[in-house]
Amino acid sequence: MTSSHPGQPADPHGPRPEGEGTRGRAERRRERIRRDIQAARTGRKLIPTWLMALVLGLFLAGWLYLIITK
Q: What is the pLDDT of residue 53?
A: 96
Domain-wise residue ranges, the chain: 20-69
pLDDT of residue 39: 85
Query: Quick one: pLDDT band at residue 20, thresholds 50, 70, 90?
Result: low
Specify the amino acid at residue 47: I
Report the C-alpha gap between 53 and 47 in whole angstroms: 10
**Whose CA is closest to 47, among 55, 58, 39?**
55
| Rg, Å, the chain Cα set | 27
Query: What integer best gives the mean pLDDT of the chain?
Result: 81
Indicate the pTM of the whole model. Answer: 0.41
Rounded mean pLDDT of 21-41?
88
Alpha-carbon distance of 70 to 63, in angstroms, equals 11
% helix / strand / coil in the chain, to the nearest 5? 65, 0, 35
